Every structure is written in C-alpha cells, then in structure tokens.
Amino acid sequence: MLIYEGKGKKLYLTQEQGYIQAEFKDDLTAFNAQKRGEQKGKGELNCLISQALFELLESKGIATHYVKLIENHIMLCKKIEMIPLEVVVRNIATGSLTKRLGLEEGRSLPFALVEFYYKDDALGDPLLNDEHCLILGAVRDREVLQELREMGKRINEILSEFFISRDLVLVDFKLEFGFSEEGELLLADELSPDNLRLWDKHTGKKLDKDVFRQDLGDVKNAYEEVLHRIKGEGK
C-alpha cells in the first residue's frame, strides 16, 4: 500500500510490520520543484548508491533505517517517525551558502558546517537556528539537535574519507533522520547524488544533481560514474 510519494521516492507499507519499502523514482526536481525532468535508470542508480553508502556507514557504527535491497530500485527500510528537518553538512562553499553569505564559490570552510532547514515546501525550506527548531516543535529538546549535529559531523568524516579514496571531493550533502519505534535515532532518506555534491578531485568536474540544475550534461552518465567509483570499478 502506497503511504507517501515524495519528489524522489514512493514509500509502501509491507506485510512485515515496522518496515516500509522505498521505491526510487526516475524523476528529477530542483529549485523547490520549479525545474522538473526525468532520467530513466536514475532511480536504480540512486538506490544502489544509497545501499553502498548505508552499508558503509552501518559498518562504521552509524545506525540507519536501511535493511536490505529488494530490487535494484527498491530498498527495505525500518519504518520510522521522521524529524521534519534537513540536516545539511558543508565542507566547501557553494549553492545557497555562497548566495546567503557572499562567500567565494569553491572556498574550503575552516570546519564542517552543520545547518538545519525546515522541511516545508510552502515556506521554501527555510534555514533555522536552534530556537526556531524548538519553537516549531521539530525536535523535543536541545539534546536531539546536538545529537543530529554530532551524527552529521561523524557521517561527514566517514563519507569524506571514503570518497577521497575514490578521487571524489564531498562538497556538501543533506541528511534526514527519524526515530525508530524503539526510540533510536536513525539516519534515513537516501544518500545519492541527488543530495550529495561530489566534485572530481583532479578536474573539479561536477558529478551530482548540479549537472541537472545547471544543464551541465548527461545526468545518468554522472551518476553512473559515481556508482562505478564507489564500487571501485574506476571509469
């Protein structure tokens, strides 16, 4: 039974209680869905990339909602109560950060920056400070925000180290979290070039959704290259 359809995925309830199936879609959206497109096979690539990265993170002690792959574009996940925040972690200034703060594009930040955005399309996903998060009731207390920050930084360390070994620079990314029925904080959603910015270490070539946002070329080629590099197959 379909319980939710978002921009990138459809979520289905399964016979097994406490689990959902996440089906990755081929649709592409950017700029709060003002720009739309479709790329056949993108859903499968994002699902396989997410699988590899969730498995990497689990092996390093990060608790995630990922259970197993069901089909190449469908993943079995734990059913969780989502926190309505986007946790963005940045290593290099680009995107909305350069626009908001006037920072030079491509500048390395002195430390990993963690930001919270409110998941609300009607408001355009506004940037929040800690008090905003509490006033909106997005989380129950400051401890949860602290835990989200720490998990964001730890995930950044693990993924940055992994990607650099594949000649990719992890520029920034967006995470979503939720609580399991047992009350455990789990990393959820997906980890794919739709929400991670990756630049080739040598050429600076963009291998993520900016290819779609900025019309830089073939989106599928870029995502395929990311999957090949993750699998250590070069290209």
Total residues in contact with ligand UDP, by rule CB under 6 A: 13
Please name the helix (run of DSSP H) or strand (run of DSSP E) that holds residue 67, with its range, or none.
Answer: strand 66-71
- Integer angstrom CA distances of residue 47 from 66, 69, 109, 114, 215: 11, 8, 30, 25, 23
Backbone angles phi and psi of 67, in degrees to 5: -110, -60
Q: How far is the CB of 30 from ligand UDP (least distance, A)?
A: 7
The one among 53, 139, 196, 219 contacting ligand UDP by CB under 6 A? 196
The yes or no reply on residue 176 touching ligand UDP (CB under 6 A) is no
Question: In this structure, what token pair is assigned to residue 155?
Answer: 């995930």
Q: Which of 44, 74, 95, 185 binds ligand UDP (CB under 6 A)?
A: 95
Task: Give the CB-nearest residue to ligand UDP.
Answer: 95
Judged by CB, which is closer to ligand UDP: 121, or 233? Answer: 121
Helix (H, G, I), strand (E, B) or coil at 220: helix
Rounded CA-CA distance 27/43 in Å is: 8
d(C-alpha 128, C-alpha 188), whole Å: 20
CA distance 209 to 216: 10
**Span of 43-51, 54-62, 103-111, 170-178 interacting with ligand UDP by CB under 6 A:** 170-178
Asked if 84 interacts with ligand UDP (CB under 6 A), we say no
Q: Which stretch binds ligand UDP (CB under 6 A): 15-23, 40-48, 89-97, 227-235?
A: 89-97
Binding piece for ligand UDP, criterion CB under 6 A, among 61-69, 76-84, 131-139, 169-177: 169-177
Window contacting ligand UDP (CB under 6 A); options: 9-17, 18-26, 135-143, 167-175: 167-175
Question: How far apart (Å, rounded) are the C-alpha atoms in residues 29 and 161?
Answer: 29
Out of 42, 73, 174, 206, the residue judged to bind ligand UDP by CB under 6 A: 174
**Positive or negative CA dihedral for 78, 82, 83, 85?**
positive
Interface residue with ligand UDP among 88, 155, 159, 188 (CB under 6 A) is: 88
Q: How many helices (H) and strands (E) does the chain have?
A: 6, 15
Interface residue list for ligand UDP (CB under 6 A): 86, 88, 95-97, 125, 172-174, 195-197, 209
